Every structure is written in structure tokens, then in C-alpha cells.
Structure 1
């Protein structure tokens, strides 16, 4: 082998290698996918090198943590189960591609390489889809699209998405681990959380197809729904505008301080929390997301709290009485 083995690879090739690894697993290693993957590997020596090193890391994660849910998916599944520190340590030991630097210091980065569309921490992006519909991704989000003559499908892999779809004979669908959401010409937001998915509709109506089957549930404009293993459930008026992030805002209505800080923490690195004694303080207002440090600095003006900062990445709110 030549000296190229010590060089950092093209990020696009790394992304392709991860994508092929996942396709091999998702397709159950069908003969067709195996042939396509083999052709890609043979097309360029750099492809084969990236493939071998991705496989090497995949095997390292699998053997180290003994958590292999399926062929070709150990990297994804194990990374989701590890703490950030554990995973970065493992990547450093593995020495993939000579260094773990190509991951950008953040495990969310693998989503960006293996997804059609993705955002990092604090990033919000807008896209125009092939049919002219508008798609916005919130912080730490990833999605794939599959458009054909028969369908318009967006698969939300992680995070939060807003769709403003154009009228078309084909239905517009957004799928994730909890449900399939379908509309003809609507505007709606889908947010995937650890234990459920939240849907908010601002225009038109959206059909909710839950995995449990049964009759469709229709979400109307102005409504917010929660979908989990128990099925869809209409929510009371939320204490936060679910679509305000698309305008770079957090808009709250009598929201508890602790969940407010959890929301802010989605847009920044590091630790952000509050003392238990002030967790139930209520907050209403409009807050800009462009600079979360400035946002936090405003809180003592609105509430009887003070900021305790060890560093910019470690912030805790405490009572003025403490």
C-alpha cells in the first residue's frame, strides 16, 4: 500500500463510506446493494481506503462495548449509547484515518456526513426541496429525502424540522421513529424527542399515521400533538411557540425556568442548569437565539436569579437568596 494511508481523506469520501456501511446494514446485505457497494469501492483507491478504516472503527466500537444491534450499524448505535467523552476517547484510541479530528470534535458530525441535510449545535438552515417546498432544520438535526414520481418523503433522523410544502399531486410525508405525517399543502413542524415526537401545524391539516395502525388522526392548523407508543394525543396550549425557532426566537408563555434552560441548552455547548429551588419560576417573553450568552444575561433582569459561570461552557442559575 502507498503513503496515502497516512493522509486525511476527502470528507465527502468519508461520508460516502459511512453511507454505504449503513445501506449494507439497512438493506440486509442484499445482492444488489452488495454489488453497488463493491463497484463504489473498486472505482477509486481512496474509496477502498475509507471503507476499510470505517470498518475498522466499526469493529473497534463493537468489540470494546459489546453492543452490536445489527450488521453495519455498530458505529451508529454504539455512538448513540456512549457519552461524548467515552466516544471521543475511543475514537482517539482507534486512530481512524490517522486522527479523530475529521469528526470535528463532535459526535453529531457523523450525522452530517451520512445524512442528506444536517445542522450542528446552534445552527439553523433553510433548504429548497426538489419540488419547490421549503424545509428548515433546527439545531442538531438531520434528515434524508426521497423524491420520486410517486412520493415526496422526508425522513427525520434526529432533531426538528419545519416543512412548508407546495401543492402537488403527490402527498408530502415526513417520517420518523414514532409516526408518518402526511399532508397535501400544509405547513408544520415535527420535533423528535427522546420519548416522543411533537407535531405543530400552522397551515392546512396533517394526517398522523402511527405504528399502531387504526384510523388516521387529523391534526388541524393551530393544534399541537404528541405521538408516542400510546399513539397520538392532542396537547393543551403549549408554553412555548414550537415554530419560533425558524425565526431565530424562543417565545415563552408562563414557562418553567428549568425546561426553558433545557431548550436554550440545545443551541449551545456545555453545561447549563439551575438550582432546584428556582426551577419552577415562570418566564414569559421573546428571546433571540443568535447569542445565547446575551440571552442568559437577560434572565436576572426578569427573575430573582443570578448567573454563576465557571467558564463560558459551565453556567448555573442560582437564587438571589442563596
Structure 2
């Protein structure tokens, strides 16, 4: 396995976000100091950043006039959007025959190159051309493929609440582990790291998992968790899963490690906990837009302490006794 693949996708995307921010605000000394703190927080940050610099160096040395033209257009601060920037940059890699393709092939850039994406602490509501409404949680990305015969959405990462528009063309949501075929419905799909969740609030949804599992129909009021090689039981759907729409996290006997995973979508950096406290149970309602406040509350209620390597890298560990 290559070093690039070993880097977490979240870290790779953070490195790209830092690169773009610094390119757009190269005279912002506060931003540069914050980037330096992020860079020094963990060796994997430095590895990810070195990959970005490698790409930049390769683009700067391109000899083809066509490549140079696209590079100049891509790096221009007046580029219409970050997605346009990244797509142009990917085009340069193809034109130049460079070695940058590993970034795109390993899905490091896929979320940022999607038709729709949100960043850390960003939510968004999208209305598609057919009237389908998609509400996106933070760190979410999906692409759209509509034709005269079908409507396909591909969820690359994150959480989406979808209310499908009624029409004759079939609708299909593709995820890495299963396809979701809604039947006139409002449903929620969460695709994070090694686990996924489907909750149906109106209508019904077929889960199609190719040859591994038979097609499963989930009716309104029910939900199911699944991973690449297994499926959970069908249980009552929980509206609390949608609390992020109000920028809240409702924890009902959640493991501390799972709480931190949710908070990371609203925190620029890493949140980690000592393995000895990872399974401590957490209950309560917490504001996602104030992660520092949540961490202080957890510290008080669970008798743990917060260790700051930088403001971006925070470790939770058992409170030390004197």
C-alpha cells in the first residue's frame, strides 16, 4: 500500500482546503499561523502537505504550452469556484501525463470534485432540477446523473436527507456499499467511514446490495445500519438522527468515541480519546457549532481532561490524579 493511500481522506481534504485558502489569502498572517499549527499537529498532516507541494511543483514545471495555459487558468485567484479549480487541476494531470493521478484515483479529491459538497461545519439544502430536495450535513458530497430515462445520485461521503420528487423516471441513490431505490419517499442516508445508515420517514426504500445480500425493503418509520460485509437489524427510525439540521447533536447513550466522530465534522482538526475512555457513555443535547463548549461539558460530566497539542489537535484522556 502506498503512503498516499495510508493518509486518511479527511486529512488529505484538509490539506487541499489549506492550500486553497492560503492561495486565496497569501497575505493573511493569522491564517498562515493557523496552517502552521495544523501542519505541526501530526506527521500525517506533513505527509499530506508534501503531496500537495509535489503536485504544485509538477504543475510549475510543465513544458507543454497547453498544460501551462490550463495551469495558469487553474491557479488564477479569480477562478469561479473551488470545484472548477480542482477539475482544471485534474485536467492538467491528464494532459501532462504526470504522477498526480494517485490523488484523484484514490478518492482524495472526489468529494471536492462532486457536483455538490459541503465542508467542515457547513450544511446546505439543494433543490435538483426535478424538484427533489437534498439536505446535506457537514463534510458531505454527492453527484447527479439525470437523463431522459433515469435519475441517479451518487453519495460519495456524508449525510443526506432526500425528499424525492414524484415523476415517472426511476430514482436511484448509489453508495459505496449499496444502492437505494426510493418509492415515493423521504429518507436519510448516512455514509461515514466504515458504517452506513438508512432511515425511512415516508414511503419505502429498497436496499439493493448486488449478490451479497437479497434486496431488502425498508418501510416508513424504520431504519437499518449496515457495513460492507454485514447488515444490522431493522429497528424504529429515530428523528434525533436529523438534529444536525438544527446544528445540534442528540446523544442517547452514545460511546464517547462516536460522539467525537460526529463532532469532527464541525471541527478543523483532530479529536481523539484515550482507548480507556472510548466506550464511556454520553447522553445529552449539544451545539455542533460550538465544539469547544461541548468538549468542556464532556470534560466536566465524564471526569476527563482535554489535552491540546494545538487548537486543532485535541486529545481526551482520563483525568490525572495527583
| TM-score between the two structures when normalised by the length of structure 1 | 0.67
Q: Is residue 168–residue 185 contact of structure 1 (8 Å, CA) maintained in 2?
A: no
Q: CA deviation at 1:128?
A: 0.9
The aligned length equals 253
Q: Distance in 2 between matches of 1:206 and 1:293?
A: 38
Q: CA deviation at 1:13?
A: 8.8
- Backbone CA RMSD of aligned residues: 3.2
Please state if 1:127 is matched with 2:195.
Answer: no
Q: CA deviation at 1:126?
A: 0.8
Q: Is residue 168–residue 184 contact of structure 1 (8 Å, CA) maintained in 2?
A: no
Please state if 1:54 is matched with 2:93.
Answer: yes
**1:75 corresponds to:** 103
| 2:305 aligned counterpart, secondary structure | strand
| 2:169 aligned counterpart, secondary structure | coil
Q: Distance in 2 between matches of 1:161 and 1:169?
A: 23
Q: CA deviation at 1:181?
A: 0.5
Please state if 1:262 is matched with 2:261.
Answer: yes
Q: CA deviation at 1:213?
A: 6.6
Q: Distance in 1 between matches of 2:224 and 2:188?
A: 10
Q: Distance in 2 between matches of 1:275 and 1:233?
A: 28
Higher relative contact order (CA 8 A, sep 6+): 2
Q: Is residue 178–residue 211 contact of structure 1 (8 Å, CA) maintained in 2?
A: no
Measured against aligned partners, the alpha-carbon deviations of 1:121-175 in whole angstroms (never above 9, x if no partner) come to: 2211111111222101222221111223332221112222210223333333211
Q: Is residue 58–residue 75 contact of structure 1 (8 Å, CA) maintained in 2?
A: no
Q: How does 1:106-121 map to 2 (within 5 A)?
A: 111-112=111-112, 114-121=113-120
| 1:302 aligned counterpart, secondary structure | helix
Q: Distance in 2 between matches of 1:170 and 1:295?
A: 44
CA distance 1:215–1:275, change in 2 (3 Å) = closer
Measured against aligned partners, the alpha-carbon deviations of 1:198-252 in whole angstroms (never above 9, x if no partner) come to: 2122222111111217742111223222334435432557999432222212111
Segments of 5+ residues of structure 2 without an aligned counterpart are: 1-64
Q: Distance in 2 between matches of 1:206 and 1:259?
A: 26
Please state if 1:306 is matched with 2:305.
Answer: yes
Q: Is residue 159–residue 193 contact of structure 1 (8 Å, CA) maintained in 2?
A: yes
Q: CA deviation at 1:264?
A: 1.0
Q: Is residue 61–residue 78 contact of structure 1 (8 Å, CA) maintained in 2?
A: no
Q: CA deviation at 1:293?
A: 1.7
Segments of 5+ residues of structure 1 without an aligned counterpart are: 20-46, 63-73, 81-107
Q: Distance in 2 between matches of 1:58 and 1:262?
A: 38
| TM-score between the two structures when normalised by the length of structure 2 | 0.67
CA distance 1:310–1:59, change in 2 (3 Å) = same
